[in-house]
Amino acid sequence: MFAALPNAFTYSLAHARGMSDRRLKGYVEDGLLERLGHGVYRKADAPPADLDRIEIALRAPEAALCLTSALSVHDLTDAIPAAIDIALPRSRRPPRVSAPVRWHRFHEDTFLVGRETIEVDDGVALGLYSAERCILDAFRLGHREGQQLAAEALRRWLKRRGAAPATLLAMARHFPRVEPSLLQALRFLT
């Protein structure tokens, strides 16, 4: 039963596969399992991975890395956030996690725009906004995140091979308030 479980799993999955609370607790006490957070476990012998991202992915499967956290994944900023920036649809309440998270609630109509996934553990994926979406969000939320973050990310993105401002502008149509400041920045940087 233990071997059939993935490296990281939730209490619900273990319970659905017939594992009792007593056995689960015993595996934790014996050091075979590590408790990552509320209802989230990982095998102790699993390869190294980002445990915070695993916990977030398992507790909020629809979540997506966003803003500074996602920009750093895309190598569009050198900033290292103190907490992981995670977006959820506005209708979804953030789950309780032990990871340091800064929750953001995005409108359902645009939540999936530019959303991709990355594998954070064997069989565990976490949403990640594309580089273009992250740049748009940095401009859109510049009043909270700082305009310099947006400008730096755009400057780095424009230096990349294959960066097409037309792609960025096409995505910006989903966020009409962003277009004027984005166009101004593009005129300045190109």
Residue 34: pLDDT band by 50, 70, 90 thresholds?
A: very high
Query: What's the pLDDT at 102?
Result: 96
pLDDT in tens, 36-90: 999 999 999 999 999 999 999 999 999 999 999 999 999 999 998 899 999 999 9
Angle at 52 between CA 73 and CA 108, to 5 degrees: 70
Q: Is the dihedral of CA 11, 12, 16, 20 positive or negative?
A: positive
Residue 145: pLDDT band by 50, 70, 90 thresholds?
A: confident
Residue 9: pLDDT band by 50, 70, 90 thresholds?
A: very high
Strands 64-65 and 84-89: antiparallel
Query: What's the pLDDT at 107?
Result: 96
pLDDT average, residue stretch 7-23: 94
pLDDT in tens, 85-134: 999 999 999 999 999 999 999 999 999 999 999 999 998 999 999 999 99
Residue 80 token pair: 């290292």
Q: Which amino acid is at 99?
A: A
Query: What's the pLDDT at 143?
Result: 83
pLDDT average, residue stretch 154-165: 94
Q: What pTM was estimated for this model as a whole?
A: 0.90
Query: What's the pLDDT at 20?
Result: 94
Q: Which amino acid is at 6?
A: P
